[in-house]
Structure 1
Amino acid sequence: MVKNRQGKMLAVQVYGQSDAPVVMFSNSLGTDHQMWQLQVKALEAHYKVVTYDSRGHGQSDVISSSTLQNLGEDVIDILDALDIEKAHFCGISMGGMIALWLGIYQPSRFKSITVANSAAKIWTSEGWNARAASVEANGLADLVTSTHTRWFSDAFDYQHNALAQQTIQSLADTQAQGYANACRALATADLREQIADIAIATLMIAGSADPVTTVADAEFMQQKIAGSQLVVLDASHLSNIEQADEFSQKLIKFIQYTQ
Structure 2
Amino acid sequence: MAMNVDDSSPESYLKFVKLLRTFRVSGDALLLRVRSDSIIPDTTNRERTGLSAEHVHYIATLIQTDGFSPRVGTKGHDVPVLVRECPATQTGLLSLSRWRDTLENSTKGLFPPCTLHADCNCFYTSLGNGHFTQAMNLHRHNCSSIFTSKPYDASLHRDKQLAHALEEGVPALVLDGSRLAVPDRKFISLMLNSTHHMPRWNVLENGELNLEGEQFFAGDDGNDDDETEPRVSQFEALSKVLDAEELSALVRTKLGIDVDEAKSGYKSRL
TM bracket (short chain):
under 0.3
Q: Which has the higher contact order (CA 8 A, sep 6+)?
A: 2
TM-score by length of 1: 0.27
Structure showing the higher strand proportion among its residues: 1
Q: Which has the higher Rg, Structure 1 or Structure 2? A: 2
TM-score by length of 2: 0.26
